[in-house]
């Protein structure tokens, strides 16, 4: 059950609030009288992540504590940062109902630093999988997309752009083998904006994301939903080839990545990846849902091609698709096939 403080600036423990979390590492003392800090997990420009145990719960489950460092010492900026931090944390908490997103268990501020406490997901990242097992097949990458696209679509429905989709931020859970998407850039975005005198600006002042996985508009501080689609495309290339983004050459005229010589995939999947990786967001898939439907269409391409190029068939025992009543439920693929047949018949009638 998430324990989300209504006032993140409040304290639970005087000792915990006066010291940094690092002072509780390899110590018998509990951080905020609740968390046993076990070890650091990683360090970045925005803060440090620690593995801990929540001793308030019966099973003392593992959790992840993220210590975030705002880039200001101005007291007025810090007070405004607390308000924004609460808003960003509540937005992340709204995503916790999805089984492939870690739950936000707690958030608070202490000692001028900001903390998030989330579920600990035990498992391997996709980057670790590729390093250990080698690159994946086209079928495996398509299965990856089938697993992760509903998660990204859920995030976008909640009006959140992840901003940092990449293999190290996708974990395959040891418990049930599900893919879990971690490390959202929304909170880091607010930290990059909180600088002395800059925290009232509505636009981002610093880049948030990972170079190579972030598309041009994100580097220009204008991320959009299709920025996550681009990052997914780069992740697919990594799974297919084992190559990092810097190992791909860009076309000097179009800006498109030159990757086809490194991986052999079907023509349809190649075109899908190319569209995901378009430098301009206008040329990419407008939404994750459209991308998913494009992938679902592939098994039906042969039959759709026959609809476009085949001749009129004589009377047969099987009912024509054109004559099926439209008031019955049709899958998206059936509806598209119906529209193509209508277009074909219209063209044939014009010719005759």
Total structural domains in the chain? 3
Do 144 and 285 have their domain in common? yes
Q: Residue 75: inside a domain, yes or no?
A: yes
For residue 270, is it within any domain? yes
Regarding whether 274 and 148 lie in a shared domain, the answer is yes
95 and 144 in a common domain: no
Evaluate whether residue 64 is within a structural domain: yes
Give the residue-averaged pLDDT of 70-82.
Answer: 74
State whether 258 and 319 are in the same domain. Answer: no
If asked whether residues 269 and 142 sit together in one domain, one would say yes
Instruction: From 176, 166, 326, 177, select the one nearest 233 (Cα to Cα).
Output: 166
User: Residue 205 has what pLDDT?
Assistant: 52
On average, the pLDDT of the chain sits at 81
Does residue 308 sit within a domain? no
Residue of 143, 158, 59 whose CA lies nearest to 101: 158
Residue 89 belongs to a domain = yes
- Among 119, 138, 160, the domain-final residue is 119
Gap between the Cα atoms of 39 and 22, Å rounded:
9
Whether residue 334 is found in the same domain as residue 210: no
Judge if 90 and 141 occupy the same domain.
no
**Residue 189 in domain:** yes
Average pLDDT for 109-127: 91
Q: Could you tell me if 86 and 74 lie in one domain?
A: yes
Listed residues 119, 148, 174: the one ending a domain: 119
% of the chain residues with pLDDT over 90: 53
**For residue 52, what are the domain limits?**
14-119
**Is residue 2 a part of any domain in this protein?**
no
The widest CA-to-CA distance across the chain, in whole angstroms, is: 88
- Given pLDDT bands bounded at 50, 70 and 90, which one contains residue 317? very low
260 in the same domain as 145: yes
Query: What's residue 191's pLDDT?
Result: 59
In this prediction, residue 305 has a pLDDT band, given cuts at 50, 70 and 90, of: low
The span from the CA of 238 to the CA of 232, in Å, is 10
pLDDT in tens, 18-72: 347 878 887 889 999 999 999 998 887 667 899 999 999 999 999 999 988 776 6
Does 250 lie in the same domain as 146?
yes
pLDDT in tens, 181-200: 998 876 666 555 555 444 44
Residue 320 makes CB contacts below 8 A (sequence gap 6+) with: none
- pLDDT tens digits, one per residue of 198-256: 444 444 456 788 999 999 999 998 999 999 999 999 999 999 999 999 999 999 999 99
Task: Return the active site residues.
Answer: 164
Q: What is the pLDDT of residues 1-25, one digit of tens each?
A: 444 444 433 434 434 443 478 788 8
CATH of the domain at 262: 1.10.510.10
186 and 278 fall within a common domain: yes
CA distances from 328 to 236, 323, 324, 334, 339 (A): 37, 12, 8, 11, 15
Residue 308 pLDDT > 80, yes or no? no
Residues 214 and 227 in one domain: yes
- Residue at 105 is within a domain: yes
């Amino acid at each position: 059950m998430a324990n989300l403080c209504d006032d993140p600036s409040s304290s639970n423990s005087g000792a915990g609030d006066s010291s940094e979390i690092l002072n509780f590492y390899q110590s018998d003392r509990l951080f905020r009288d609740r968390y046993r800090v076990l070890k650091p997990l990683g360090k970045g420009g925005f803060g440090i992540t620690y593995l801990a145990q929540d001793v308030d719960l019966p099973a003392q489950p593992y959790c992840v504590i993220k210590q975030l460092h705002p880039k200001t010492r101005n007291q007025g900026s810090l007070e405004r940062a607390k308000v924004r931090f609460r808003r960003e944390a509540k937005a992340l908490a709204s995503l916790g109902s999805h089984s492939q997103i870690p739950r936000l268990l707690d958030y608070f501020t202490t000692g001028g630093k900001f903390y998030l406490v989330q579920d600990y997901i035990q498992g391997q990242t996709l980057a670790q999988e590729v390093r250990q097992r080698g690159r994946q097949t086209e079928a495996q990458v398509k299965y990856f997309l089938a697993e992760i696209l509903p998660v990204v679509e859920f995030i976008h429905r909640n009006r959140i752009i992840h901003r940092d989709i990449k293999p190290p931020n996708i974990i395959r859970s040891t418990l049930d083998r599900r893919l879990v998407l971690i490390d959202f850039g929304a909170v880091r975005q607010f930290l990059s904006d909180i600088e002395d005198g800059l925290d009232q600006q509505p636009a981002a002042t610093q880049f948030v994301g990972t170079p190579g996985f972030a598309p041009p508009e994100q580097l220009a501080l204008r991320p959009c939903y299709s920025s996550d689609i681009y990052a997914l495309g780069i992740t697919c290339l990594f799974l297919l080839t084992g190559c990092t983004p810097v190992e791909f050459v860009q076309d000097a005229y179009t800006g498109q990545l030159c990757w086809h010589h490194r991986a052999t995939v079907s023509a349809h999947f190649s075109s899908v990846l190319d569209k995901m990786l378009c430098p301009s967001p206008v040329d990419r898939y407008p939404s994750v849902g459209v991308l998913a439907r494009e992938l679902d269409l592939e098994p039906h391409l042969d039959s759709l091609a026959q609809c476009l190029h085949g001749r009129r068939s004589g009377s047969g025992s099987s009912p024509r698709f054109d004559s099926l009543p439209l008031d019955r439920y049709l899958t998206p693929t059936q509806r598209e096939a119906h529209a193509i047949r209508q277009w074909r018949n219209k063209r044939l009638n014009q010719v005759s």
